Each structure stands twice: as structure tokens, then as C-alpha cells.
């Protein structure tokens, strides 16, 4: 993982007197205003689960290292990586996504959580009735259930999407390449740490 892999936020300027950044700082980034899922993105930065430390809960402030931990999920896979490495990386990225959806951290994405996801996605598009979002979420849930647990008795209740099911439905998307950002133009000389003063 490299500190060399990323460029610092441009709002690190006003962190000179703070030791880390908190949600408001990220909230203030103007470009994020148009993003329908900004809340989830910001939450993800403060989610302890993404810090690779098997911790749960959320932080109030993050320092540069934690910031980088989160960013490290978006590294592209090295082309010389072996198959297992690729699988691990893929799992890691999927896990990040899964954590974004599974807000109560019970290990499954329930219907309500999924509905929230769809509603957020559609939130930017003007007045969409919630019913539409619901039915889309229900449809998606049904699809997951049908592909993963094809034969359920009528009274069974499909609790929610587990991580394995999540992997299964997204196996068509090549996560390793899709979920990566190319930080091509990094110049380590100009990189500053969040803690300017120290």
C-alpha cells in the first residue's frame, strides 16, 4: 500500500491546526454535492470496518493513514498478480461495497437497506415516488434470491443478501478493474501529509 499511491485532498490546507479531518470537512467538498450517494461515501471513510482491523463502529475523525487505508481499496490490481491475489483483491473490494450497503453491520443486506440504496441512487433524479424505488429494490432482491436460493418453500423468509450471495450476483462485473482509480499523476515530492505542522 503506498502513501505514494495517492494525492492528498485539496482541502488539507485547512487541516493545519487539526490533527485529522472529520465528516464536515468532507461534506464541504463542493464537487460532491451532485453525487447521490455522498452520504454513504463519506460514511465509508469513517467506517472502522474499512480499516482492515476487524473493528466495528465508526470514527469521528480520520488521519491520513486511515484515509489511505480507505483509498487502498481502489487500487488497481497489478497485472503480474497471481490468480489468488486477484481473488483476494476482488474480495476486498466487494467487501468494501458490501459494508457500504450493510449499515447495521449484521452481515446481511436486508430489504430495507437495499431499498435505501436504490432510493439514494434515484434521489438526484427529481421527484421519484418511493414506490418505484421500492419495486426496483424488491425486484433486485427477488433476483438475488432466485439465483442463490432457487428452491425456497413458500413460507421461508429470505433474510437478506449475505456476502457470498453478494459475490455471486456481482460476479459478472470485473471488480478488479472496474473499481479502481488510476492515480497516474502523482508526484511524491509535492505530497503533503495531513499533519502539516508535524
Question: Which DSSP helix (H) or strand (E) runs through 140?
Answer: helix 130-148
Q: What's the burial of 166, exposed, middle or buried (CB within 10 Å: 0-12/13-18/19+)? A: buried
Q: Can residue 68 be called a binding residue for other proteins (CB under 8 A)?
A: no
| Distance separating alpha carbons of residues 89 and 93, to the nearest angstrom | 6
CB of 91: closest distance to other proteins in angstroms? Answer: 16
Q: Which is nearer to other proteins, 88 or 146 (CB)?
A: 146
- Only one of the segments 54-62, 83-91, 167-175, 189-197 lies at the binding site for other proteins (rule: CB under 8 A); that segment is 167-175
Contact criterion met (CB below 8 Å) for 109 and 59: no
Q: Can residue 117 be called a binding residue for other proteins (CB under 8 A)?
A: yes
Q: Can residue 193 be called a binding residue for other proteins (CB under 8 A)?
A: no
Q: Can residue 36 be called a binding residue for other proteins (CB under 8 A)?
A: yes
- Only one of the segments 58-66, 83-91, 173-181, 188-196 lies at the binding site for other proteins (rule: CB under 8 A); that segment is 173-181
Q: Can residue 172 be called a binding residue for other proteins (CB under 8 A)?
A: yes
Residues 47-66 that bind other proteins (CB under 8 A): none
**Contact pick of 48, 74, 92, 163 for other proteins (by CB under 8 A):** 74
DSSP characters over 29-98:
-GGGGG-TTHHHHHHHHTBGGGGTSS--SB-SEE-HHHHHHHHGGGPPPPTT--HHHHHHHHHHHHHHHH
Q: Can residue 6 be called a binding residue for other proteins (CB under 8 A)?
A: yes
CB of 35: closest distance to other proteins in angstroms? Answer: 5
CB of 152: closest distance to other proteins in angstroms? Answer: 5
Number of C-beta neighbours around residue 107 at 10 A: 12
Measuring CA to CA, which residue among 41, 102, 28, 104 is closest to residue 73? 41
Q: Can residue 163 be called a binding residue for other proteins (CB under 8 A)?
A: no
**Contact pick of 24, 57, 60, 125 for other proteins (by CB under 8 A):** 125
**Contact pick of 23, 86, 134, 195 for other proteins (by CB under 8 A):** 134
Contact criterion met (CB below 8 Å) for 93 and 176: yes
Number of C-beta neighbours around residue 159 at 10 A: 13
Amino acid at each position: 500500500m503506498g502513501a505514494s499511491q495517492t494525492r492528498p485532498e485539496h482541502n488539507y490546507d485547512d487541516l493545519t491546526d487539526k490533527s485529522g479531518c472529520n465528516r464536515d470537512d468532507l461534506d464541504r467538498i463542493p464537487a460532491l454535492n451532485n453525487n447521490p450517494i455522498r452520504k454513504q461515501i463519506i460514511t465509508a471513510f469513517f467506517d472502522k470496518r474499512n480499516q482492515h482491523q476487524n473493528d466495528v463502529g465508526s470514527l469521528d475523525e480520520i488521519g491520513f493513514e486511515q484515509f489511505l487505508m480507505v483509498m487502498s481499496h481502489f487500487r488497481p490490481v497489478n497485472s503480474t498478480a497471481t490468480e489468488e491475489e486477484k481473488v483476494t483483491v476482488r474480495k476486498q473490494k466487494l467487501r468494501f461495497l458490501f459494508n457500504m450497503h450493510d449499515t447495521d453491520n449484521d452481515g446481511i443486506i436486508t430489504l430495507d437497506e437495499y431499498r435505501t440504496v436504490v432510493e439514494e441512487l434515484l434521489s438526484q433524479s427529481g421527484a421519484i415516488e418511493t414506490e418505484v424505488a421500492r419495486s426496483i429494490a424488491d425486484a433486485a432482491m427477488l433476483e438475488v434470491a432466485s439465483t442463490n436460493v432457487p428452491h425456497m418453500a413458500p413460507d421461508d423468509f429470505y433474510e437478506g443478501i449475505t456476502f457470498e450471495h453478494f459475490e455471486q450476483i456481482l460476479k459478472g462485473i470485473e471488480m478488479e478493474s472496474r473499481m479502481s482509480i488510476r492515480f497516474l499523476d502523482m508526484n511524491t515530492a509535492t505530497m503533503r501529509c495531513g499533519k502539516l505542522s508535524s
